Amino acid sequence: MAADVLLARARVVWRELAGVPMALPADGGVDVAVSAESRLSPPGWVGIVALGDAAIVTLPADNRAETVRGVLRSVPVEELTDPVRLRAILPVAEVLGPASLAYLDDGDFQPVGLDTVDVVPRAHDDLVRLLASVPVDDADECGLADITSAAFVVRRGDHVVAAAGYRHWPGMAAHLCVLTRPDHRERGLARAVASAAAADGLANRLLPQWRARPEPSRRVAQALGFRQLGAQLSIRIGI
């Protein structure tokens, strides 16, 4: 799949999540709109998604919306997901991200085979135990509790030590969720379970999406053939 087709599919995902009709201009630029139904960010926050040379921004419906809209429309796309730049021009109280956004197609996929990857139903007891065995921040960040696919797991003894799956998102996206127990990291297990989950998404004609903040997670995506096409940032405007 050509890069421009992959980018077009990724843009469909986030336009649907915006909650209002929006455009990621083909010739670049920024589209900013007020959206009470936006899923680009937590409720009440400003959501920013840049893909390629274009971006969309959703704002909460409050009395600062028009001011924030005017400020963000003047920011170059490449700076919109830079928290330092935004703090210089807006009263930013909190930040989530930025997270990289990467996507995969069949032609780029570099699968990793591991004979010991098993498939279990989502919410399987072994998956619940894995989530309970890691720090709360890791469990929340990975998103495995919310997958809608089956889970692809690696066991060591009686315990699942790595798992991956995906959540169905709008725009026919398969949002990848991956977790490895801290004492089993750096052994290729994340690549193995993520490879199985990505292969399942592709087989179901979905668009695998990898959203990551930590660099190790980005390296796993890159090793599997995901292309980084953009970034997501959420900010909360203070008083």
The number of folded domains in the chain is: 2
Is residue 91 domain-shared with residue 192, that is, in the same domain? no
Could you tell me if 96 and 121 lie in one domain?
no
Residues 124 and 92 in one domain: no
- With respect to residue 49, please indicate whether it lies within any of the assigned structural domains: yes
Domain assignment present for 46: yes
The pLDDT confidence band at residue 172, using thresholds 50, 70 and 90, is: very high
Domain with 127, as residue range(s), is 117-228
- DSSP state letters, the chain: --HHHHHHHHHHHHHHHTSS-----TT-EEEEEE-TT--SSSTTSEEEEEETTEEEEEE-SSTTHHHHHHHHHTS-GGGTT-HHHHHHHS-EEEEEEEEEEEE--TTT------TTEEEE-TT-HHHHHHHHTS-HHHHHHH-GGG--S-EEEEEETTEEEEEEEEEEETTTEEEEEEEE-GGG-SSSHHHHHHHHHHHHHHHTT-EEEEEE-SHHHHHHHHHHTPEEEEEEEEEEE--
Q: Is the pLDDT of residue 115 over 80?
A: no
Whether residue 45 is contained in a domain is answered as yes
**pLDDT in the model for residue 175:** 98
pLDDT tier at 73 (50, 70, 90 boundaries)?
confident
User: Tens digit of pLDDT for each residue in 179-188?
Assistant: 999 999 888 8
Residue 97 in any domain: the answer is yes
CATH of the domain at 223: 3.40.630.30
Can you give the pLDDT at residue 2?
59
In this structure, the answer to whether residues 84 and 162 fall within a common structural domain is no
62 and 148: one domain? no
Q: What confidence category does residue 26 fall into, taking pLDDT thresholds of 50, 70 and 90?
A: confident
